[in-house]
Amino acid sequence: MEYFIERASSYAADIDLVILVVAILGGFWFFVAQGVLFYFIFKYRRRPGQKAQYITGEKKEEMKWIHIPHNLILICDVVIIVLAIKVWYGVKQDLPPAQETVRIVGQQWSWTFIHPGKDGLIDTEDDIAVVDELRLKKDTLYHYKLESKDVLHSFSVPVFRLKQDAVPGRVITGWFKPTKIGSYDIQCAEMCGIGHGIMGSRLHVESDEDHNRWLEQTSRG
Amino acid sequence: MSSNAAAGHGDHHEVSFWQKYIFSVDHKVIGMQYLFTGMFMALIGGFFVYVFRMQLAFPGQEVLGFGTVSPAQYNALVTNHGTIMIFWVAMPVLIAALGNFLIPLMIGCDDMVFPRLNRLSYQIFLLSALIIIGSLFVPGGGFGGAWTAYPPLSANSQYSLTPLGSILWVVAVALEFVAFLIGGINFVTTTMNSRAPGMKMFDIPMIVWMIVIASILFMASVGPLIAGAVMLLFDQTMAIGFFDPAKGGDPVLWQHLFWFFGHPEVYVVLLPAMGIVAEVMCTFARKKLFGYKTVIYTALGTAILSFFVWAHHQFVSGIDPRMANIFTVTTLLISIPVAEMLFVYIATLYGGSIQFSTAMLFALAFLVEFLIGGVTGIFLGSSAADIYFHDTYFVLAHFHYTFVPIAIISVFAALYYWFPKMFGRMMNETWGKIHFWGTVIPFNFIFIPLFILGTSGQHRRIYSYENFPDLATPDMQRLRVIATTSLIVMLVFQVPFLINFFYSMFKGKKAGNNPWNSNTLEWVAPSPPPHGNFAEMPEVYRGPYEYSVPGRESDYWPQNEKP
């Protein structure tokens, strides 16, 4: 997965592991099935004087060719289910204690990010609201409080492997922990009207010093 | 009942063109009406995809035959491409056209049990098609809120900016559902009541079974969405607020209503496609279907399970995260009956004598390509992986790898296979094979690049990726151009098909009753079958797939041949 896109959150590697396991198990069955299919197509092509066999597929020894792969696939499914649920639990169900909290508000067609000011708390006077730019400290565990003012939006950060729809009338809480310094795309992944295609923001993950310098500058400004 | 009706058909009288082709109650004519309407709508849907793929490959440039594409137009094109291809192409062709044409012929009766309801079904369908086309030309433009039409965007013109377009869209979709409800009743009732004497439940050809199961599945799942469509219409026109949180409603409710229908719908179109492939494969491999009953049971299993998977479309939509666990389990379990069905089909080829006719090539391509669609679905059914893949091009490529085999590849198999019966003439095989390779190869070159783009984080329904620095790289743009170029190649290769189709209809080689030496009853009737279908109503003595039976001279054994 890292070949396609960077990882920048604490759980990105877990999600990539699920993808890898599905790719290996699914890929195995895919190549087995395609291999057998192409082999049959080649082997049993029409040749003069050769009649097809009469097989009902309803006898026990014939059915085993369906039942054995059937049971093996069931086992693979169970492996995938267990792993997927385990990772899902960590990303979406579990809510580890926050070090800081940001408020994210979607509207047609921009994101507004309300960062905590120097006191480290939101919903206080020194909050810093920025349109289309989110600044986070590396290795800090954030809670996000996601809202929408009008239609459905979806807060999507590919490098975090995170996506969550914003629903008007609700505040949805989740978490992330950035692990890599850099600037990345934030998308809106839910169709939200004619400006959906311009509803992009930038995420800046920075060191504590850089973040504090930005806080200083912004509060002074 | 069918013998009475057959006697009624005996007194032939001249009918006007108008009565014969426009207001006909004959199941074959209605089937053809659905087929040609579906093909016409496919051309519209194909034109839309050409326009918006050009915009994605060459953003902002003028598109030949359309002009520059505005964001509002782009959204309307994407939305209506999806809507039209599913509701006005896949459904009418796979269920209504084939169901109407084939069911009475394959079960050996003279017509549907409710011929007038059948006519009404097509008329409502035609009306719905006219409304969806008209919705693109009203002030404000066509609806652009994606084919899933999530409120509040779809419910409130202040957000969608398409006051008339969104209303007409909902009305058209709701009418289309009504048309298929009526049609579905007909398919199920006819198959249960009008089978030829001697045809037991397990002597029914697979495609008929599949259309019947699909119709039941459709009728059982569409109710909530029709209710949802009416609620949405109330929200749009009277601001009632079913989906408006400010008035105590909930936007996510729509998603439940939509996907409770929307996911079974996938199997509503998949099952008839599997039926087509079964018929074509058995005929051209000269083989009995491997495990006939297994196929029926897996189809029923898939149909029942499909009612319990809908929320996998909503993992990140704000539902309770605990719910995702249940739906991950059900979604992955549905892979089992579907995989089993595919194994059965592969096993059917074992020991066969495979003739690579154009119809057979399309049927085999269905298996090859649908496997890709099936396997990539596992990524999306696994909740954790779906957090990343949701609403990316990976999803888009995945479901095109299911829907293109279903609605395009299997339909071509059906057309090449049943064309002689429909029109009494043969299609040209050489041009058929050119069409085959020209369709299947570019198809893969469209969607494999889109898998890569989706895996790299490209999200859906975006007019231009220039606003997203991580997605605006030259490498990714190159993949978009490859996809668009392949699409154009694929579209161009449909021209030989259309010429072959219409030319053969009038000038093709005469077909005879049974050009493929096939067993099922439709091949007993003359080609094309007259009003009333059979000169003498057939009786059935055996199952539909008795090919290459040991001890028999010929390698097929028609269902109606006396033992």
Are A77 and B460 in contact (CB < 8 Å)? no
- Determine whether the interchain pair A53/B364 forms a contact, defined as Cβ–Cβ distance below 8 Å: no
* Spatial distance between the Cα atoms of B370 and B443, rounded to a whole number of angstroms: 12
pLDDT at residue number A131: 95
User: Does residue B529 sit within a domain?
Assistant: no
Give dist(CA B253, CA B452) in Å, integer: 33
Using CA atoms, how far apart are residues B498 and B542, in angstroms rounded to an integer? 37
Question: Is the pLDDT assigned to residue B5 strictly greater than 70?
Answer: no
Q: How confident is the model at residue B11 (pLDDT cuts 50, 70, 90)?
A: very low
The DSSP secondary-structure symbol of A186 reads: E
Give the mean pLDDT of B523-528. 94
Q: What is the mean predicted confidence (pLDDT) over B341-357?
A: 95
Q: Nearest C-alpha of chain B: how many angstroms from A32?
A: 11
Q: Compare all CA atoms of chain A with the CA of B153 and give the residue at the minimum distance.
A: A151
| Residue B223 domain flag | yes
Give the pLDDT of residue A219: 81
State mean pLDDT over B425-433.
97
C-alpha–C-alpha distance, residues B431 and B496, integer Å: 7
User: Is the pLDDT score of B134 beyond 70?
Assistant: yes
Q: In what order do the strands lie in the sheet containing A201-206?
A: A133-137, A201-206, A182-188, A153-157, A162-166
- Reference B265, options B220, B321, B200, B317; nearest CA is B220
Which of B346, B396, B456, B556 should be substituted to probe chain A, the one whose Cβ sees the most A Cβ atoms within 10 Å?
A: B346
Q: How far is B13 from chain A (nearest CA, A)?
A: 47
Residue B284 has pLDDT above 60, yes or no: yes
Interface with B, mutate which of A43, A147, A187 (most B CBs under 10 A) = A187
Percentage of residues of chain B with pLDDT beyond 70:
98
Q: How far is residue A29's CA from residue A44's CA, in Å, rounded to a whole number?
A: 22
Whether B403 is in a domain gets the answer yes
Contact status, residue B30 vs residue B118, Cβ threshold 8 Å: yes
What are A7-59's pLDDT values in tens digits? 999 999 999 999 999 999 999 999 999 999 999 999 999 998 888 999 998 88
pLDDT surpasses 50 at A155: yes
- Is B463 inside a domain boundary? yes
Report the pLDDT value the prediction gives residue B14, as an integer from 0 to 100. 66
Q: B47: Cβ–Cβ under 8 A, 6 or more apart, which residues?
A: B65
Is residue B370 within 8 A of residue B408, CB to CB? The reply is no
The C-alpha atoms of residue B312 and residue B327 are separated, in whole angstroms, by: 6
Residue pair B313/A162 in contact (Cβ under 8 Å)? The answer is no
What is the number of domains present in chain B? 1
Q: Please choose, from the candidates A100, A114, A108, A104, the residue with its C-alpha nearest in 3D space to the C-alpha of residue A157.
A: A104
A204: Cβ contacts below 8 Å, ≥ 6 apart: A133, A134, A135, A136, A182, A183
Structural domain includes residue B530:
no
Residues pairing with A9 in the sheet: A178
pLDDT, one tens digit per residue, over B45-102 is 999 999 999 999 999 999 999 999 999 999 999 999 999 999 999 999 999 999 999 9
**Residue A196 to residue B245, Cβ atoms within 8 A:** no
Q: Could you tell me the two tokens for B488?
A: 């154009």
What whole-number distance in Å separates Cα of residue A183 and Cα of residue B227?
A: 46
What are the pLDDT digits (tens) for B144-198? Answer: 999 999 999 999 999 999 999 999 999 999 999 999 999 999 999 999 999 999 9
Q: In angstroms, rounded to a whole number, what is the distance separating the alpha carbons of residues B395 and B481? A: 19
Residue contact B467–A22, C-beta within 8 A: no
Provide the mean pLDDT of chain B. 94
Q: Is residue B290 over pLDDT 70?
A: yes
Give the pLDDT score at B13. 59
Closest Cβ opposite residue A187 in set B352, B379, B459? B459
Helix (H, G, I), strand (E, B) or coil at B241: coil
Percent of chain B with pLDDT over 90: 94
CA distance B308 to chain A (A): 16
Nearest chain A Cα to B141, which residue?
A: A194
Is the pLDDT at B1 greater than 90, yes or no?
A: no
Q: Which helix (H) or strand (E) is A115 found in, with range?
A: strand A110-115
Domains of chain A: 12-93 (1.10.287), 100-220 (2.60.40.420)
Q: For residue B165, give the nearest of B133, B141, B131 by alpha carbon.
A: B141
Which among B286, B292, B322 has CB closest to A52?
B286
Cα(B22)–Cα(B8) distance, integer angstroms: 21
> Quick one: closest CA in B to A90, which residue?
B384
- Check CB contact under 8 Å for A152 and B145: no
Rounded-to-10 torsion of CA A16, A20, A21, A22: 100
B87 inside domain? no
Give the domain range for residue B139: 22-81+99-523
ipTM over 0.90: yes
Residue B514 within any structural domain of the chain: yes
CA distance B529 to chain A (A): 30
Q: Do A5 and B321 count as a contact with CB atoms less than 8 A apart?
A: no
Look at the block and give the residue holding tokens 């609605």: B407
Q: Is residue B558 part of a domain?
A: no
Q: Give how far A30 is from chain B: nearest CA, Å.
A: 7
- Choose among B346, B367, B366, B354: nearest CA to B411: B366
pLDDT in tens, B381-420: 999 999 999 999 999 999 999 999 999 999 999 999 999 9
- Contacts of B67 by beta carbon, 8 Å cutoff, 6+ apart: none
What does the pLDDT read at residue A7? 95
The pLDDT assigned to A119 comes to 87
- Residue A187: list chain B partners with CB under 8 A: 457, 459, 468
End-to-end CA distance of chain B: 26
* Per-residue confidence (pLDDT) for residue B17, from 0 to 100: 76
The CATH number given to whatever domain includes residue B64 is: 1.20.210.10
Distance CA B418, CA B279 (A): 10
